[in-house]
A and B are shown apart, each in its own frame.
Chain A
Amino acid sequence: MPTVDQAQELSKARRFLKERLQRNYTTIRGYEAERSNVRELLQRTGEGESNSLLLIGPRNAGKTTLINAVLADLLDNKSFVENTLIVHLDGNLHTDDRIALKSITVQMRLENAADGKVFGSFAENLAFLLQCLKAGNKKSKSVVFILEEFDLFCTHHNQTLLYNLFDVSQSAQAPICVLGVTCRLDVIELLEKRVKSRFSHRQVFLFPNADKFEDYVKLCQELLSIPSDKALKSTANRIDRLELLKSDAFTFQRNHFRGAAYEFDKRFVDNWNKHHDKLIKMPAAQKTLQMLYDFDISEAFLKNFILRLVSRVKPSAPLITLEQMSSLAQQYESDDKIELLCGLSVLEICMIIAIKHHSEIYDRDPFNFEIIFARFSKFAKVSSTMQGVERSVVLKAFEHLRISELIMPLSSNSGLGKIQKEFEMHKMALTYGQIQQAVQRYQALPTEVAQWAQSSLI
């Protein structure tokens, strides 16, 4: 029986691990060369050189984390903090140049902005911003523009904002750095030719390393372990520095993970770490990790997995076990559509089977309600369980299948009104394998239906 003390320690550890998994925005592992490349670039911008850069990598590769980490590094440098403004834009939020421009004006604290409100029209704002940048020189503050979801900025009208930012970075005006972040590899092809010419073509690619399974295991071990007090204290300084980041657009510093706030009992930590080191070395655990690694090599995916593991820890089960790990992994492998199929009524399963028979016979030809109803009626007539079912009830079941998107209408703009719903053509969004598995796993399926599923002959 665990004591009260242990239970407290455990809930603390769980909170610590969860926070570290979710809110540790500035720690990045690996990418040494890329990181120093970006850091040097921003450093030189702080010293008055204009630049532009694109950070490209697949989703979840740590692009934003890299930038946050670089900024946290640079906050060490007093002259960088004093001489640089950071403007943060996001293609998902700033959906057109008008909104983006207002946000820039506010973040740069220009004359025509007051308390987050910007005066004047779009054209005036653009003209004023350009005048300000033009009036600037080597003596004015450097501005770092961080454009997340850069590819969405390319869809704006005429790419006015991009042209102007890149143009400033290539002329003798205020020193700025345009840092685009995107997951599209071919993003340069989206730029107009004059915008492309003004872009400096520096691209930094972030690819998580695919053939280092050992590193992946080590990372997993690291994410599960609780560091010593000394290690926690040493990172405290770095997080305190984030206060210097005086930008309203960066919200991560307000809610950052603070390791130094935690203190653990040494015996508990030893026990915890030893257990999990051993756990990960087990072949079954390795197999689970390999499965995850084969599917997605990103750190974010692993973090998600570990978060779900950690949240299962409770005083009655104070350590993560192998069973927990493999049962969670099984959830990742399972097919949600089969779950959905198993939740259908027997009538709906019968409809699905009828659709399957139709598809098999006619090689996935589309079908409508009448076709399926005829096929179903043939079965219902000879079956003992489905005899009294009315047409309207079957139609309701068919509609239910349609709104759960197990069957999809052929035309995208559903032709309701033009075609009666009994005659509208549909296609099936399931593979035969899925139906077969669902029939096998269905609880208490009448034997007749199971047999009919095997063969369309009645």
Chain B
Amino acid sequence: SRLAEGTPRRSIQLSNIVEQRVFQDDEIISTPKRARSKKTTTAEEDKEYTPKKTPTRSRRLSTASAAAPATPTPLTPSQKLKKIRAGEISPTMEQRKTDTANPDKGRKSQLQLAREQLHVSVVPQSLPCREKEFDNIYNFLEGKIQDQCGGCMYVSGVPGTGKTATVSGVIRTLQGMTRQRKLPEFEFLEINGMRLTEPRQAYVQIYKQLTGKTVSWEQAHTLLEKRFTTPAPRRITTVLLVDELDILCNRRQDVVYNLLDWPTKSAARLVVITIANTMDLPERLLMGKVTSRLGLTRLTFQPYTHKQLQEIVSARLGLAGSEAFKGEAVQLVARKVAAVSGDARRALDICRRATEIAKDCVTMLHVQQALAEMIASAKVQAIKNCSRLEQIFLQAVAAEVTRTGVEETTFMGVYQQLETIAAIMGVSTLPPPGRALRLCSKLGAERLLISEPSRHDLYQKILLNVSTDDIHYALRVEQPMTTT
């Protein structure tokens, strides 16, 4: 009976010789893995047994059994992948060898502290200037959790207005409440459209956060469907945060539909919060039935005004701020950023750059330099630093635009202008058309011009990607042409 038990499946495929072996009563045939404990017996057998025909295979068998060490073998990559899919291996990064990451805080200057505080990744406990939105989302979620029913909410706003940070802040507060037993328990799941390779992977990610297992999306879909549609007596509320909703919208919209349809099931007890950038996304992109399920509970995050941005930066700086940052410097950043986008990330990044420029205290001048680096365009500088013939080429394009009155020019017309300008300026070596094409493609690579591929030769169309004023300004200010 033991014989039959131990017979490995693979022995069917073994060659005749192995099958011909006559087994003793107490002998154990086993797979190499099982042989670990009975190492000695197998080794003895191998000594007695001399293979006739296929030595390689039997040797492999014997070495495999002999080599099997007592310590656990390192996993083969495919075994590892299985464990990863089962969620048994936790993903890790390589660790630092010498831990220089956190030298004690005393040695850091005020400026360094300020720089650390200003990093976008350092999210404060409570977001300044978003109290109203916080309350709004908090009330919605708390109500849904208390009532133990499902629902949807749609949050919109341009990037960098604190949507995700506020929602995560609300969730954190609610989780604190449950820990104090002031609120029934709930589960929190989070997916991000941009972190998925395709919309259907949303099922996989949700299921993975529930169980830790990675399965195919079809399987995940079925399992989630089962979970949310069949009533279970002790089910707790699930809060699902869907970031970047617009990416999940494909043509069929089955994923969005499912995500928004589950909350309507009484068994699900699912609350879905969706985040996207455009305010009118439901009406513009989604089908009628999806929009209807999304409901009208909506919240829009307005871009920060300069006062709010100033408050955010000052809050980040805290007490250290007064020494490291001049008040008017913060105000300048806030006003500049609020005028462009109202993006908090931008304001923080500019402030951080200013701390890098400054030596001990950030003043207006440092901020101005940082602003120039991060907002200003470099086109004028690029034109100034072109070679002389490239500059003449740009002038020729501008001249051709003025002559024809049309934005789009052809290389032939530009080349004629080039000949004229070169003759007027007394350039001795006018490049032949072939080399002028090279100038054109070089300027096109920089995107000072927009040009067709050079395959079109004399007939390629050329558009000026800078304004003619920029060209004149760049070339007149230093007057590089007067040297002729």
Which residues of A line the B interface, CB within 8 A?
40, 47-50, 56, 58-59, 78-79, 82-83, 85, 97, 108-114, 117, 119-120, 122-124, 126-128, 130-133, 135-136, 138-141, 158, 160, 163-164, 167, 170-174, 183-186, 193-194, 196-198, 200-203, 205, 207-211, 291, 293-297, 333-338, 405, 408, 427, 429-431, 434
CA of A359 to CA of B457, assembled, Å: 17
- List the A side residues contacting B375 at CB < 8 Å: 201
- Whole-angstrom CA separation of A337 from B436 in the bound complex: 13
**Nearest CB of B to A338, in Å:** 8
B328 within 8 A of A: no
CA of A133 to CA of B78 in the docked complex: distance in angstroms?
22
Residues B374 and A202 in contact, CB atoms below 8 Å apart: yes
CB distance B204 to A141 under 8 Å?
A: no
- A400 → chain B closest CB, angstroms: 18
**B341: nearest chain-A partner, CB-CB:** A197
Q: Which residues of B contact A79 (CB under 8 A)?
A: 98, 100
A203 CA to B371 CA, complexed, in Å: 11
Q: What CA separation (Å) do A193 and B161 show in the bound complex?
A: 13
Q: Is B218 engaged at the interface, CB distance under 8 Å to the other chain?
A: no
Q: A79-B98, A172-B122, A201-B374 are in contact. Are A210 and B433 (CB under 8 A)?
A: no
- Given A185-B378, A202-B349, A295-B435, A58 contacting B446 (CB threshold 8 A): yes
Known interface pairs A200-B353, A294-B389; 10 further A-B residue pairs with C-beta atoms within 8 A, sorted by A's residue number: A78-B98, A82-B97, A117-B77, A119-B81, A126-B197, A133-B93, A140-B93, A202-B353, A294-B387, A434-B433
Flag if B93 contacts A174 (CB, 8 Å): yes
Q: When A and B form their complex, which 3 residue pairs have the shortest distance between CB atoms, in order from nearest?
A: A197-B159, A335-B432, A207-B385
Name the residue in B197, B373, B378, B446 with the highest tally of chain A Cβ atoms < 10 Å from its Cβ.
Answer: B197
With A185-B446, A198-B345 as given contacts, are A160 and B432 in contact (CB-CB < 8 Å)?
no
Contact B92 A200, beta carbon cutoff 8 Å: no
Contacts of B214 in A (CB 8 A): 124, 127
Which of A50, A297, A429 is in CB contact (< 8 Å) with B387?
Answer: A297
Knowing A170-B120, A408-B459 touch, does A112 contact B389 (C-beta < 8 A)? no
Contact residue among B99, B100, B121, B387 (Cβ-Cβ distance under 8 Å from A293): B387
Q: Is the CB of A140 within 8 A of B94?
A: yes
Q: Which of B83-91, B221-229, B259-267 contacts A (4 or more CB under 8 A)?
A: B83-91
Choice from A50, A113, A120, A164 contacting B194 with Cβ under 8 Å = A164
Contact partners of A429 in chain B: CB under 8 A: 457-459
Chain A contacts of B159 at CB under 8 A? 193-194, 196-198
* B95 sits at the interface (CB 8 A): yes
Contacting pair B123 A172 (CB below 8 A): yes
> B-side interface residues toward A, CB under 8 Å?
77-78, 80-81, 84-85, 89-102, 116, 119-123, 158-160, 194-198, 201, 204-205, 208, 214, 244, 247, 277, 341, 343, 345-346, 349-350, 352-353, 356, 373-375, 377-379, 381-382, 384-389, 412, 415, 427, 429, 431-435, 439, 442, 445-448, 456-459, 465, 478, 480
Contact assessment for A185 and B343 in the assembled complex, using a CB-CB cutoff below 8 Å: no
Contact (Cβ within 8 A) A335 B458: no
- A63–chain B nearest beta-carbon distance, Å: 12
Measured CB to CB, the closest approach of chain B to A264, in angstroms, equals: 35
CB distance from A101 to the nearest CB of B (A): 9
Q: Determine whether the beta carbon of B121 is less than 8 Å from that of A170.
A: yes
Query: Are B433 and A337 in contact (CB-based, < 8 A)?
Result: yes
12 contacts between A and B (CB under 8 A): A48-B102, A127-B201, A135-B93, A184-B445, A184-B447, A201-B346, A201-B374, A201-B375, A208-B385, A211-B480, A335-B432, A427-B459
Contact A111 B92 (CB under 8 A): yes
Contacts of B96 in A (CB 8 A): 82-83, 139-141
In the bound assembly, the distance between CA atoms of A158 and B432 in angstroms comes to 43
The answer on a CB contact under 8 Å between B277 and A210 is no
Say whether B158 contacts A193, CB under 8 Å.
yes
User: Are B386 and A119 closer than 8 Å at their CB atoms?
Assistant: no
Residues of B with C-beta under 8 A to A120? 81, 84-85
Complex CA gap A290/B196 in Å reads 55
- Most chain A CB atoms below 10 A, which of B158, B381, B382: B382
Distance in angstroms between the alpha carbons of A202 and B346 in the assembled complex: 10
- A431: B residues at CB distance < 8 A: 412, 415, 433, 458
CA–CA, A170 and B214, complex, Å: 27
Q: Are B93 and A47 in contact (CB under 8 A)?
A: no
* Chain A residue, CB-CB nearest to B443: A58
Residues from chain B with a CB closer than 8 A to the CB of A198 are: 159, 345
Taking CB as reference atom, which chain B residue is nearest A117? B77
- Chain A residues within an 8 Å CB radius of B349: 200-202
Chain B hits for A160, CB < 8 A:
194-195, 197
B160 pairs with A197, CB closer than 8 A: yes
A-side contacts of B102, CB under 8 Å: 48, 138
CA distance A141 to B97 in the complex (A): 8
User: Is the pair A335, B433 in contact by a Cβ cutoff of 8 Å?
Assistant: yes
Residues of A contacting B80 in the complex (Cβ-Cβ under 8 angstroms): 111-112, 114, 119
Query: A114 — which chain B residues lie within 8 A by C-beta?
Result: 77, 80
- B373 touching A336, Cβ below 8 Å: no
Contact of A170 among B345, B435, B478 (CB under 8 A): B345
Which chain A residue lies CB-closest to B102?
Answer: A138
A62 to B121, CA, bound (A): 32
One of A128, A207, A210, A427 near B84 (C-beta < 8 A): A128
A183-B446 Cα distance, complex, nearest whole Å: 5
B466 to A, closest residue via Cβ: A185
Is the pair A123, B204 in contact by a Cβ cutoff of 8 Å?
yes
With A47-B100, A164-B194 in contact, is A112–B94 under 8 Å at CB?
no
CB A162 to nearest CB in B, in angstroms, measures 10
| B84 and A294 contacting across the interface, CB-CB below 8 Å | no
Complex CA distance for A207 and B383, rounded to whole angstroms: 10
A210-B386 in contact (CB<8A): yes
Contacts of B446 in A (CB 8 A): 58-59, 183-185
Contact B445 A210 (CB under 8 A): no
| Contact present for B346 and A197 (CB under 8 Å) | yes
Report A-chain residues with C-beta under 8 Å of the C-beta of B119. Answer: 49-50
Does A194 lie within 8 Å of B277, measured CB to CB?
A: yes
Contacts of A119 in B (CB 8 A): 77-78, 80-81
In the complex, what residues of B have CB within 8 A of residue A136's CB? 92-93
Query: In the complex, which residue of chain A has the Cβ closest to the Cβ of B123?
Result: A172
Q: Is the CB of B100 within 8 A of A83?
A: yes
Give the chain A neighbours of B433 by CB distance below 8 A: 335, 337, 431, 434
**How long is the Cα–Cα vector from A108 to B1 in the complex, in angstroms?**
51
B34 shortest CB reach to chain A, Å: 26
Report whether A82 and B434 are in contact in the complex, using a CB–CB cutoff of 8 Å.
no
Are A126 and B91 in contact, with the CB atoms below 8 A? no
A185–B92 CA distance with the chains assembled, in angstroms: 37
User: By the criterion CB–CB under 8 Å, are A194 and B244 in contact?
Assistant: yes
Task: Give the distance in Å from the alpha carbon of A160 to the alpha carbon of B349 in the complex.
Answer: 22
Q: Which of chain B's residues has its CB closest to A340's CB? A: B434
List, in ascending order, chain B residues with CB within 8 A of A138's CB: 101-102
- Provide the residues of chain A in CB contact with B121, threshold 8 Å: 50, 170-173
Known A170-B345, A172-B122: A59·B94 in contact at CB below 8 Å: no
Q: Is the CB of A210 within 8 A of B122?
A: no
A363 to chain B, nearest CB (A): 12
| Interchain CA distance A336-B78 in the complex, whole Å | 58
Query: What CA separation (Å) do A122 and B197 show in the bound complex?
Result: 7
- Asked if residues B434 and A335 are in contact (CB atoms below 8 Å), the reply is yes
Chain A residues, CB < 8 A from B374:
201-203
Interface centre among B98, B100, B194, B435 (most CB of A within 10 A): B194
User: Which residues of B have CB within 8 Å of A132?
Assistant: 91-93
In the bound complex, what is the Cα–Cα distance between A261 and B197 (angstroms)?
51
Min CB–CB distance B28 → chain A (angstroms): 33
Bound: A351/B103 CA distance, A:
80
Residues of A close to B123: CB separation below 8 A: 172
A112-B384 contact in complex given A135-B90, A160-B194, C-beta closer than 8 Å:
no
Please give, as numbers and ranges, the residues of chain B lying within 8 Å of A82 by CB-CB distance.
Answer: 96-98
Q: A112-B80, A138-B101, A185-B446 are in contact. Are A197 and B197 (CB under 8 A)?
A: no
In the bound assembly, the distance between CA atoms of A185 and B91 in angstroms comes to 38
In the assembled complex, how far is the CB of residue A43 from the closest CB belonging to chain B, in whole angstroms? 11
